[in-house]
Amino acid sequence: MSYYLSIVVDGPGDDPNHRSHWAFAIHAPGSQIGNVLHVTPLDLNKLIYAFDKRKGVEVQSKSSEGYFTIATLSLEQYPRADRIISQEPAPNNGSDRCQDWVQNCIIALEVEEIVPPGTSEWLGGLVGQPAATVASKIGTRWVRTAG
Q: Got the DSSP string for the chain?
A: --EEEEEEEES---BTTBPPEEEEEEE-TT-SEEEEEEEEEEETTTTEEEEEEEEEEESS-TTEEEEEEEEEEPTTHHHHHHHHHHHSPPP-SSS--HHHHHHHHHHHHHHTTSS-TTHHHHHHTTTT--HHHHHHHHGGG-EEPP-
Question: Residue 141 in contact with residue 124, Cβ under 8 Å?
Answer: no
Digit-by-digit pLDDT tens for the chain (147 residues) are 899 999 999 999 998 888 999 999 999 998 989 999 999 999 989 999 999 999 999 988 888 999 999 999 999 999 999 999 999 999 999 999 999 999 999 999 999 999 999 999 999 999 999 999 999 999 999 999 876
Question: Residue 84 in contact with residue 109, Cβ under 8 Å?
Answer: yes
| CA distance linking residue 146 with residue 141, whole number of Å | 15
